[in-house]
Structure 1
């Protein structure tokens, strides 16, 4: 039996680290492609320009197209090849980061990840989630290596709207429950090996940190101030969840999140919000103790996460539509099979309905 744990080669977190970018990445090459989200493009140009000032390194900055699709990946690969870049840098949210990781994989050049949000655990993982042009889940692209470096500038994170931090906590909150399920099932993690004690410990620490510091971090973010609690939650959302989930595995919560993408009403709902609801559904599937479900719902409500389909924008619960969600959640290429018991489409349908009612009841 082979076990493994893997993570980025280097993780750097702190105030103002983006202004020191060249210090950290200069050894990776002489030419760089930076892919930036539109809303940070101007700020990134200014800070990166100052960071590389006085050097002879060539930096090309390109605006991200908005969705991690095969077409967007191919478009940026062509730019990277035309510029003969030696490393690619992502600055933005999860879809930007996943796109750049795919670029690094296909072009075989180093990848540097700079998240502008603590909204998901994508920065640290050797995984890209590919979507269709319509925004529906398409496939997981499993990568042979994690990013070479992850740099988290907390000055940027603290300025982001609190809904993104909450979404990150939603994504991270699933980490422990999915790790627990995979461990019970003696399943494989996302890199195809068994789960180490170290990986499970990271998932448990992620869970503990969220419960202890989640509400305080939310308040810190709302007031735009950096506190130890916010620093801890940023680390939990990005590193503990990223390494914990990748090395411990995904189960029902993420499968259900992917299934929810078939509902057009939820295309504007964040990944983390869908995963959080998926966690409630997983707990119902497991027939978890009611106190554990109450704790999960209370945490989610206190940090600003939806606990029902209605809160996410599904105003009419249509049986056929929810059955499609359930069927998509049980797709062979997804992670429902990592649950420690057989799960049918009908099981998922029932769990979604009950989780939705519990969310409304305990609200």
Structure 2
């Protein structure tokens, strides 16, 4: 048995960016920072100041490339070969973090992650989601390193656009709906039973505190509810995948997300937003009562998640495109976790039904 539950260490508090040198100095005296352009602007000044105060030199700052693609991983590895450094630091969202997790795997260096948004659990998992340079899903990559340290400054999350947090809520909701579905085909063990218990608690926390967390960002007031949801999205949700492993990680909701990425129209919609719609389609695929789907949509309306294709930029699909969506989606690794065989026709029917229910509520 080989289980990776999450990062080696996790710290979350307001203003912690000014203290990062305290945590990073144990990894060495030289560092390279990689991240998204906005994230580099947000963190580099305070990060450099704190590192310098602890005798650590930030010898280079690099853009990750804009997409978690193999070509960007290879490009960064080549750029890093010109430097001598002790530790990698990544700042940004899920795609930047995933890219550098793969880079760290190949260069075999300690990895410190500074999430600047709370939109996925990328900081707490040992896998990376690989896309093409154009943003289409390619695969779940295992050539990736679990972060040694995750440092979350909740004041940075507070000042990030609220839509990122909303997307994070959508991605984290999927832990419950996908885990309780995929676990049906697994032999019960202490690990996967722990995963389902954590997923259930996550779901309850999102229902109880999700709206307050969104309001916290909208009103720019740091609250306990916001910090709970930050921890839920970034850390706790990753532990569901850690404990559940292949028994109960992801299922149809994420497969439908990946399938929808073949359409350029959705590339301006965030990962967790599309996953949230995927949950609705998965519920339709499972044959749950329509009222359950509507109840979840009412929660989506409360926090601001999309629940129709139009809200994600897809106004119409041709018969050929529907066929392509079904055929691509069933090939996604996540779909194999469903407790029954899924056909392309089932995917199309479920997506259409979820969209129809959403539009009727509108």
Q: What does 1:1-363 align with in structure 2 at a 5 Å threshold?
A: 4=3, 6-59=5-58, 60-143=60-143, 145-186=145-186, 195-248=191-244, 249-331=249-331, 333-363=332-362
The answer to whether the 8 A contact 2:128-2:144 is kept is no
Q: What TM-score, normalized by structure 1, do the two folds share?
A: 0.94
The answer to whether the 8 A contact 1:3-1:196 is kept is no
Check 1:61–1:5 CA distance in 2 against 1; reply closer, same or farther (3 A cut): closer
The answer to whether the 8 A contact 2:21-2:53 is kept is no
CA shift for structure 1 position 143:
4.5
Query: Does 54-63 or 214-223 show the bigger shift?
Result: 54-63
SS of residue in 2 equivalent to 1:155: helix
> 2-side partners of 1:269 and 1:42: how far apart?
23
CA shift for structure 1 position 195:
4.3
Check 1:3–1:361 CA distance in 2 against 1; reply closer, same or farther (3 A cut): farther
> 2-side partners of 1:236 and 1:89: how far apart?
22
Segments of 4+ moved more than 6 angstroms: none
CA shift for structure 1 position 347:
0.6
The answer to whether the 8 A contact 1:132-1:138 is kept is yes
Q: Aligned residue pairs: how many?
A: 357
CA shift for structure 1 position 8:
1.1
Check 1:66–1:113 CA distance in 2 against 1; reply closer, same or farther (3 A cut): same
Check 1:145–1:95 CA distance in 2 against 1; reply closer, same or farther (3 A cut): closer
Structure 1 unaligned runs (5+)?
none
CA RMSD of aligned residues (A): 1.8
Check 1:43–1:267 CA distance in 2 against 1; reply closer, same or farther (3 A cut): closer
> 2-side partners of 1:320 and 1:124: how far apart?
38
Structure 2 unaligned runs (5+)?
none
Check 1:56–1:13 CA distance in 2 against 1; reply closer, same or farther (3 A cut): closer
Check 1:104–1:3 CA distance in 2 against 1; reply closer, same or farther (3 A cut): closer
SS of residue in 1 equivalent to 2:53: coil
